[in-house]
């Protein structure tokens, strides 16, 4: 292998994670809007589609029977029960993107990110957070998408997830009204990783 071969970076598996309410979806959506040349994984879920969501774009909305079939067929990188519903990452999307040389970005919860790390130790894990626990609770309450019981569970879970920071490679505070700054930081991290002497190499 020549030194020129060594300069060609491997595709990265980039995990955007963090507690509910910190803006993971907004970060990924802004990256899409700005035309970043990545493959954005569409997560499969058994939860009901919200009014503003599109099947195949925001999530792959599937029945519990179909999700069970995907588990049995070993078609998922990771899956978990999140607030009573299943979510999972289809393997085929990631493999196809890698084959085309594209970096892959996936948006998963903290538990899912740690599962990906066990399966693919060279994955790049980025933890998105906000200014404080108080700010996080405020954002969750302002969303008004859950019942009182569900909201209490999300707030308690989010507080626990904030304690999992050490499992990640990078942390970014997503300040209110500074979404583009957050996205710029994610892009800068990815660029820096591609210029490392020792490249990450993910196999699935």
Residue 66 is encoded by which pair of tokens?
A: 């179909």
Residue 7 has a pLDDT of 59
What pLDDT, in 10s, does the model give residues 39-85?
Answer: 999 989 999 998 989 999 889 999 999 999 999 999 999 898 877 89
Characterize the bridge pairing of strands 104-107 and 13-17.
Answer: parallel
131 domain residue, yes or no:
yes
What pLDDT, in 10s, does the model give residues 134-185?
Answer: 777 777 777 666 677 777 887 888 888 888 889 999 999 999 889 999 999 9
Burial of 79 (0-12, 13-18, 19+ CB in 10 A): buried
67 domain residue, yes or no:
no
Residue 16 has a pLDDT of 97
Q: With left for phi above 0 and alpha for psi between -120 and 50, is residue 110 left, alpha or beta?
A: alpha
200 domain residue, yes or no:
no
Residue 144 has a pLDDT of 64
Q: How many separate helices (H) and strands (E) can be counted in the chain?
A: 8, 9
In whole numbers, what is the pLDDT of the chain averaged over residues? Answer: 88
87 domain residue, yes or no:
no
Residue 154 bears catalytic tag: yes
User: Order of strands across the sheet with 170-173?
Assistant: 39-40, 104-107, 13-17, 124-129, 170-173
126 domain residue, yes or no:
yes
What pLDDT, in 10s, does the model give residues 100-116?
Answer: 999 999 998 898 899 99
119 domain residue, yes or no:
yes
Strand stretches in 130-176, DSSP E: 170-173
**Given 7, 50, 69, 95, the catalytic residue:** 50
Residue whose token pair is 């050490």: 166
Residue 145 has a pLDDT of 65
Instruction: Let me know: does 26 contact 116? Beta carbons within 8 Å.
Output: no
Distances (CA, A) of 142 to 137, 139, 198: 9, 5, 43
To the question of pTM greater than 0.75 for the whole model, the response is yes
**Given 34, 69, 141, 143, the catalytic residue:** 143
25 domain residue, yes or no:
yes
Q: Which long-range contacts (CB under 8 A, 24 or more apart) does 150-153 make?
A: 150/83, 153/83
Domain that holds residue 170: 3-41+102-194
Q: Nearest to residue 183, comparing CAs of 18, 34, 57?
A: 34
* 1 — pLDDT class (breaks 50, 70, 90): very low
64 domain residue, yes or no:
no
Total Cβ atoms within 10 A of residue 43: 19
CATH of residue 120's domain is: 3.40.50.300
Residue 143 bears catalytic tag: yes
Domain tally, the chain? 1
d(CA 91, CA 68): 15
């Amino acid at each position: 292998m020549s030194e020129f071969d060594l300069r060609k970076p491997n595709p990265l598996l980039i995990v955007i994670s963090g507690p509910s309410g910190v803006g993971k979806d907004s970060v990924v959506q802004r990256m899409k809007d700005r035309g970043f040349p990545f493959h954005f994984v569409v997560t499969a879920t058994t939860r009901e589609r919200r009014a503003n969501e599109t099947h195949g774009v925001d999530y792959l909305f599937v029945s519990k029977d179909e999700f069970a079939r995907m588990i049995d067929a070993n078609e998922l990188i990771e899956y978990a029960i999140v607030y009573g519903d299943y979510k999972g990452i289809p393997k085929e999307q990631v493999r196809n993107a890698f084959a085309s040389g594209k970096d892959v970005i996936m948006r998963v919860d903290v538990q899912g990110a740690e599962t990906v790390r066990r399966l693919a130790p060279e994955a790049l894990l980025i933890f998105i957070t906000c200014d404080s626990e108080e700010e996080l609770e405020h954002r969750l309450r302002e969303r008004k998408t859950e019942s009182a019981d569900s909201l209490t569970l999300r707030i308690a879970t989010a507080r626990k997830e904030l304690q999992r920071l050490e499992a990640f490679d990078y942390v970014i505070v997503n300040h209110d009204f500074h979404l583009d700054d957050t996205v710029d930081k994610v892009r800068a991290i990815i660029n820096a990783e591609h210029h490392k002497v020792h490249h990450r190499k993910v196999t699935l």
